[in-house]
């Protein structure tokens, strides 16, 4: 792209202050976080928004297949009996079984026990928490119930069916607890007659076969089949949150001011984290990035693309893989933007005021 006919002016941009190196690929990081504790859809959304970005949005089957979320909690028949003269842990069958307790069990608070599949340990919890549970039948078979109940409710359910909350010895763990098909909250929810995502625009659904209009306003994703399905929004389920490392700054700044702003950002929770203007690669998740752009207050947002000394470059030293940029841009049109109306990289006058996208990273020491 270099040309001696173009403006050779080199601006002092302190490229070396960026914590990334030449040959860098994508800097966009998107992750999905599995929240095991059952919540309603609305509470799951609130939690995801407070700790991450939002309830998960998916854009393709490959996004879904790339994640695993088969962990779950299950009440078991172990609980603490307390009298004025003693306090001890007993099983529902009143037999003695070896217990692989959690670390620092004596510091845990609660009188009821549950397992976390799949670390094979027994944990102490508040008996009033609402978790899934596993029953043991009279013929020593096991029934996993993906219904969130407190310990007493779970015990009562099992006994009402002539079962009991499960008791087991350590060598039986894998015969009882294994991957289960568990519906898990994602960002799909009903909006009038249609379904939409809590965060961003996506056409992906991949519904299980069935009637989508029957008594349900929120969407779940099954942990094994990886299919979406409608659920009652008040159902208590695990959830998937989406998180990313992009920061949209809704202030109108010139390109240079945007660069300075990003590099001046600091994290209150991680002193090593640094920020820079966003660089992009054609293989990045364009739908996800477009969702960020659509949230801007300006029609276009600055990126870290800059024309310097006759060449296009990313200010963090990332590989330049875009081949459709102007060989010799018009005077002043030396900075790169993303637009709400166009997915291609475009160039603009660097002095224009726009919102901008920063990304976070941890420098390699």
Q: What is the DSSP string of 206-254?
A: -BPSS-TTSS--EEEEETTT--EEEE-TTS-EEEEEEEESEEEEEEEE-
The answer regarding whether domain 72-176 maps to CATH 3.10.100 reads yes
Mean pLDDT on 247-261:
97
pTM of the model: 0.84
Cα distance between residue 255 and residue 61, in whole Å: 37
Give the pLDDT score at 87: 87
Q: Token digits for 206?
A: 């991949």
pLDDT digits 0-9 by tens, 25-36: 789 999 999 999
Beta bridge partners of 150: none
Instruction: List Cα–Cα distances, 130 to 133, 173, 235, 297, in angstroms.
Output: 9, 22, 11, 42
Q: Which of 255, 277, 262, 258 has its CA nearest to residue 352?
A: 255
Q: 């102007």: which residue's tokens?
A: 326
Q: Return the pLDDT at 96.
A: 86
Query: What is the CA angle 299-304-308, rounded to 5?
Result: 115
Domains 30-69+180-243 and 72-176 share a fold: yes
Domain ranges of the chain: 15-29+245-361, 30-69+180-243, 72-176
Topology (CATH) of 30-69+180-243: Mannose-Binding Protein A; Chain A (3.10.100)
Q: To which CATH superfamily is domain 15-29+245-361 assigned?
A: Mannose-Binding Protein A, subunit A (3.10.100.10)
pLDDT in tens, 138-183: 888 999 999 999 999 999 999 999 999 999 887 889 899 999 999 9
pLDDT digits (tens, 9 = 90+) for 34-78: 999 999 999 999 999 999 999 999 999 999 999 999 999 999 999
């Amino acid at each position: 792209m270099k040309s001696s006919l173009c403006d050779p002016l080199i601006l002092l941009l302190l490229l070396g202050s960026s914590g990334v190196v030449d040959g860098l690929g994508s800097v966009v990081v998107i992750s999905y976080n599995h929240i095991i504790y059952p919540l309603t859809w609305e509470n799951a959304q609130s939690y995801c928004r407070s700790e991450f970005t939002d309830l998960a949005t998916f854009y393709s089957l490959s996004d879904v297949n790339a994640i695993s979320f088969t962990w779950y909690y299950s009440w078991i028949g172990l609980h603490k009996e307390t009298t004025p003269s003693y306090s001890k842990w007993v099983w529902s069958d009143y037999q003695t079984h070896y217990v692989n307790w959690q670390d620092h069990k004596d510091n845990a608070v609660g009188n009821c026990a549950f397992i976390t599949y799949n670390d094979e340990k027994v944990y102490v919890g508040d008996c009033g928490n609402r978790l899934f549970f596993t029953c043991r039948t009279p013929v020593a078979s096991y029934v996993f119930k993906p219904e969130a109940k407190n310990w007493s409710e779970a015990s009562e359910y099992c006994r009402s069916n002539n079962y009991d909350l499960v008791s087991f010895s350590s060598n039986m763990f894998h015969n009882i607890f294994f991957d289960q098909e568990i519906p898990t909250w994602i960002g799909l929810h009903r909006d009038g007659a249609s379904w939409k995502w809590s965060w961003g625009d996506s056409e992906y659904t991949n519904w299980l076969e069935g009637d989508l209009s029957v008594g349900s306003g929120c969407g779940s994703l099954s942990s094994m089949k990886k299919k979406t399905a409608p659920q009652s929004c008040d159902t208590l389920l695990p959830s998937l949150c989406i998180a990313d490392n992009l920061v949209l700054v809704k202030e109108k700044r010139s390109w240079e001011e945007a660069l300075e702003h990003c590099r001046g950002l600091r994290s209150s929770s991680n002193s090593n984290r640094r920020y820079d203007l966003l660089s992009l690669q054609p293989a990045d998740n364009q739908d996800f990035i477009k969702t960020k752009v659509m949230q801007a207050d300006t029609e276009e947002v600055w990126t870290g693309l800059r024309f310097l000394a006759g060449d296009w470059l990313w200010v963090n030293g990332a590989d330049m893989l875009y081949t459709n940029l102007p060989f010799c841009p018009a005077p002043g049109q030396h900075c790169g933007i993303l637009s709400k109306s166009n997915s291609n990289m475009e160039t603009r006058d660097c002095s224009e005021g726009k919102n901008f996208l920063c990304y976070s990273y941890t420098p390699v020491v």
